[in-house]
Structure 1
């Protein structure tokens, strides 16, 4: 193998490593996103329940 081929092969190997690392990083970001969405959905459900309870208590006082 010529020197230029060795340099090219080394470059390609580094680029493949970078791509693999980026894939891993993207998967981590996606996982963090899913966790955060689940947390926000739970917070929204809790908020909605609180509003329902307060509304029910308010209307019960009117009767």
Structure 2
């Protein structure tokens, strides 16, 4: 992009990569937390993951894991 469109083209591609990366991280966090939460709800050994925090309205332990 730098050769074809100069410095502006390189910045544009870098910005697109950063936005795409942030979107993928967001999806990974919420998908992972959902599966961990479901694991905690289904199996007593992992019950701490299935606790819902009413104050924050989130499954905090599942998100942290």
Task: Specify the TM-score bucket, using the shorter chain as the normaliser.
Answer: 0.5 to 0.7
Higher CA-based Rg:
1
Count of residue pairs the alignment pairs up:
43
Instruction: Report runs of 4+ in structure 1 exceeding 4 Å deviation.
Output: none
Gap regions ≥5 residues in structure 1: 1-13
1:41 counterpart = 2:29: yes
1:30 counterpart = 2:18: yes
TM score, norm. by length of structure 2: 0.58
RMSD of aligned alpha carbons:
2.2
Gap regions ≥5 residues in structure 2: 48-65
| Bigger share in helix | 1
